[in-house]
Amino acid sequence: MAMLRFFLGFFLFGGSSLNLICTSHGLPNNHVHAALFVFGDSLFDPGNNNYFNTTARANFYPYGETFFKHPTGRFSDGRLIPDFTAEYAKLPLIPPYLQPGNHQYTYGVNFASAGAGALTETALGYVIDLKTQLSYFKKVEKLLRQKLGDADAKAFFSKAVYLINFGANDYISFLTTNSTVTQFSKEKYVGMVIGNVTDTIKEIYRKGGRKFGFLNLGDLGCAPARKVLVPGNTRACFEQATELAKLHNAALSKALQELETKLVEFKYAKHDINISFSERRNNPEKYGFKEADIACCGSGPYRGINSCGGKRGVTEYELCSDPTEYLYFDSSHPSDKANKQISELMWSGAPNLTGPYNLKALFEE
């Protein structure tokens, strides 16, 4: 049960087939839109996990109820950051790669998988890990290159934006499971995670990618799912998780700065979700929330037990009447309202929160 709870905890802080209007070469008319390709975990997964045998799913009530009016596989009551990003970029919803019948990729595609890590060992067998997500992208790249020809493909992939988010599940795994990779020091382990992310960026760059968007990690220890691990219900955060997130954020910043100096035309937007989410957790009323410690859906202290929907071993759960009042929808994931606020900051936020570019600047280049 402990292992099952981890696989279902995929915490980041703490569609339909496309109908395209295309030219004879398959690109959108006048090449107006940059495509969006998404790699990540449950913060970004629009439902890929619906299409293979895993317990890491959110395709049941009450997920999806406030916006889509039905569950889609997204770990929220509504939309995720890639959904808002697509809207702001005037793109359709970017569909999950594994969705049957989705064979058009000229607006991009989403490879993210709830529970996934940068390390293959994280939730092995339950998720689409980063290495596999990259292999899917390479298949799409090859298909589009054959379809468009080398010149148009080069323009297409250099204009596209690549959203990437990994790390949280690797660090929760480090703290909650016993495997060969978790025997390393914290610093060594963080280096392995960042190394895999960096290698992926380089591979996408080799295929023509130039514009990237990232989140760092929020305070992993302060999600309801982590706070429930601290004895005494004191509202204290789980400090071991917080420490790993800090190490990750410092290493990610350093790695991106190094890539910027080494890779010609490499541009990126990194949003400091550690700051933006902490501000909302510490001052919920300022941002329109009534509750930032307790999840809308779940059970136990802080509703931090991952029982939302009653299909993960614990059948009983509590559900709030208005998710818009809550920072967290379930024990580990933001509400639609919180995702929207973070997405707005990623899209057009100032350099102190999103830099050196924001996503709007990348899409408009």
Could you give the CA distance from residue 270 to residue 274 in angstroms, rounded to a whole number? 11
235 close to 229: Cβ distance less than 8 angstroms: no
In the Cβ-directed half-sphere of 309, how many Cα atoms lie within 13 Å? 25
Output the pLDDT for position 32: 57
> Among 85, 88, 84, 60, which Cα is nearest to 73's?
60
In angstroms, the CA 68 to CA 78 distance is 6
Res 50: pLDDT: 98
Distance (Å, rounded) from C-alpha 69 to C-alpha 62? 9
pLDDT of residue 234: 87
330 is catalytic: yes
The per-residue pLDDT for 102 is 65
Please report the beta strands in 217-295, taking only residues with DSSP state E, as ranges in sequence order. Answer: 267-271
pLDDT tens digits, one per residue of 265-291: 999 999 999 999 999 999 999 999 999
Distance separating alpha carbons of residues 72 and 94, to the nearest angstrom? 13
Rounded distance between C-alpha atoms, residue 313 and residue 93, angstroms: 32
Q: Which of 330, 331, 335, 343 is catalytic?
A: 330
The C-alpha R_g of the chain, in whole angstroms, comes to 19
| Res 267: pLDDT | 98
In the chain, at which residue ranges do the beta strands (DSSP E only) sit? 36-39, 108-110, 161-164, 211-215, 267-271, 297-298, 318-319, 354-356
Tell me whether residue 33 is one of the annotated catalytic residues: no
170 catalytic residue (yes or no): no
The pTM score is 0.92
Query: Quick one: the chain helix, strand, coil %, rounded to 5?
Result: 40, 10, 50
Tokens of 351: 């350099």
Q: How many CB atoms lie within 10 A of CB 287?
A: 15
Cβ within 8 Å of residue 227, ≥6 positions away: 221, 235, 236, 237, 238, 293, 301, 302, 304
- Per-residue buried b or exposed e for 335-362, using 16+ beta carbons within 10 Å of the residue's own CB: bbbbbbbbbebbbebeeebbeebbbbbb
What residues of the chain score a pLDDT lower than 50? 1-8, 10-30
Choose the catalytic residue: 219, 333, 335, 343: 333
**Element counts in the chain: helices (H) and strands (E):** 11, 8
Q: Which among 41, 42, 45, 129 is annotated as catalytic?
A: 42
- Per-residue confidence (pLDDT) for residue 33, from 0 to 100: 86
